[in-house]
C-alpha cells in the first residue's frame, strides 16, 4: 500500500530539477548546435573564407592571402538545390569574383571580370580592347612581357569570332559561327593576341591581373552566371609560403596585408 510518505517521496523525485552536471551538458550541446547552425547559415548565404593558391592575380592578390568572400551580393545559392537567392546587384566590369571553374566545378577560381554579355573583346600586344576601345588597366601586371605563347587550348575561340566585315558589333551567334569557319585558317590566337570575340548572354569573360601567368578565359572560355559564387571583400590573413621553412604560416606573416580591401 502506497503510504503518504512514499507518495510524497516519489513526487519529489519526479519534480526534482536535473543535476548540475546534466544541466551543464545540455547547455553545452545546445550551444554547439546553435553555433554550427549559425556557421552553416553564414557560410552558405553571407560570407565564406577563400585562400589564394596561385599567382594569377599577383599585383592585387598574393599567394597565401586568405579572403572573406561576400556571397550575398550576386545571390547566394541555397544548399543542395541549385537555386540562387535574388542578387543585390549583377556583376560589373572590373569586379574581382570567385567562381567555380567551368572545366572542373569542384575547384574555385578568383579572377577579374573584363567582359559582360554582348561585349566584344580582343587583345593586341597584351593590351585589352573592349568594344573597339583600348582599356587602361592600372591593376594589371606583366611578369613575362617579352614572351607570347600560342596553344591549342585557344581554339575554342573560333566559335565566337566576329566577322571581319562587322568589327566590334554584336553579330548573332549563328553568324559568328559561320564567320569563324571562314576565318579559322587565318586565325592563330596567342596569349597576348586574340579576338575579337563576343561574350554570349548569361556569361562573363574573366582574366587574371597577372596577365602573363594566369589560366583564365583566354584558355578555357566564358564563365556562366550560375557559376559565380561571390565577391572577395578583404584580406583577413596573409603569409608568404615557403616549403623550406617550418611553420611558415606563423613565421612569414604579412602583417601589412591584414584588413586590405580588394578592388
C-alpha 171/C-alpha 161 separation (Å) is 9
The number of beta carbons lying within 10 Å of the beta carbon of residue 216 is 22
Query: Which among 66, 67, 71 is positioned nearest to 41, based on CA atoms?
Result: 71
How many whole angstroms separate alpha carbon 151 and alpha carbon 125? 16
51 given a catalytic annotation: no
Evaluate whether 128 touches 121 at the Cβ level (below 8 Å): yes
Other CB atoms within 10 A of residue 83 CB: 9
Strand, helix or coil for residue 236: strand
Integer Cα distance of 197 and 155 in angstroms: 12
Catalytic position from the list 9, 31, 56, 175: 56
Rounded to whole angstroms, how far apart are CA atoms 97 and 75? Answer: 13
Asked if 238 is an active-site residue, the reply is no
Distance CA 199, CA 119 (A): 6
Are residues 195 and 123 in contact, defined by beta-carbon separation less than 8 angstroms? yes
Q: Are 175 and 26 within 8 A, CB to CB? A: no
Q: Look at residue 101 and give its three-state secondary structure.
A: strand
Q: Out of 111, 180, 214, 238, pick the active-site residue.
A: 111
3-state SS, residue 126: coil
Radius of gyration, CA atoms only, the chain = 27
Catalytic residue numbers read 56, 111
Amino acid at each position: 500500500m502506497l503510504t503518504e510518505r512514499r507518495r510524497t517521496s516519489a513526487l519529489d523525485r519526479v519534480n526534482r530539477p536535473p543535476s548540475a552536471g546534466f544541466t551543464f551538458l545540455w547547455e553545452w550541446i545546445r550551444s554547439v548546435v546553435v553555433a554550427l547552425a549559425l556557421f552553416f547559415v553564414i557560410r552558405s548565404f553571407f560570407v565564406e573564407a577563400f585562400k589564394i593558391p596561385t599567382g594569377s592575380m599577383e599585383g592585387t592578390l598574393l599567394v597565401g592571402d586568405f579572403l572573406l568572400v561576400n556571397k550575398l551580393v550576386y545571390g547566394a545559392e541555397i544548399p543542395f538545390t541549385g537555386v540562387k537567392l535574388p542578387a543585390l546587384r549583377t556583376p560589373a566590369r572590373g569586379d574581382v569574383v570567385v567562381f567555380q571553374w567551368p572545366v572542373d566545378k569542384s575547384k574555385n577560381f578568383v579572377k577579374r571580370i573584363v567582359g559582360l554579355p554582348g561585349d566584344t573583346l580582343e587583345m593586341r600586344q597584351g593590351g585589352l580592347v573592349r568594344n573597339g576601345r583600348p582599356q587602361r588597366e592600372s591593376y594589371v601586371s606583366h611578369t613575362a612581357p617579352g614572351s607570347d605563347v600560342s596553344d591549342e587550348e585557344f581554339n575554342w575561340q573560333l566559335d565566337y569570332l566576329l566577322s571581319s566585315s562587322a568589327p566590334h558589333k554584336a553579330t548573332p551567334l549563328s553568324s559568328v559561327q559561320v564567320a569563324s569557319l571562314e576565318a579559322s585558317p587565318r586565325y592563330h590566337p596567342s596569349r597576348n593576341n586574340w579576338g575579337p570575340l563576343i561574350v554570349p548572354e548569361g556569361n562573363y569573360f574573366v582574366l587574371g591581373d597577372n596577365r602573363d601567368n594566369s589560366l583564365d578565359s583566354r584558355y578555357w572560355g566564358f564563365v556562366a552566371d550560375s557559376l559565380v559564387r561571390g565577391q572577395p571583400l578583404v584580406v583577413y590573413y596573409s603569409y608568404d609560403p615557403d616549403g623550406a621553412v617550418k611553420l611558415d604560416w606563423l613565421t612569414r606573416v604579412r602583417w601589412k596585408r591584414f584588413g586590405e580591401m580588394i578592388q
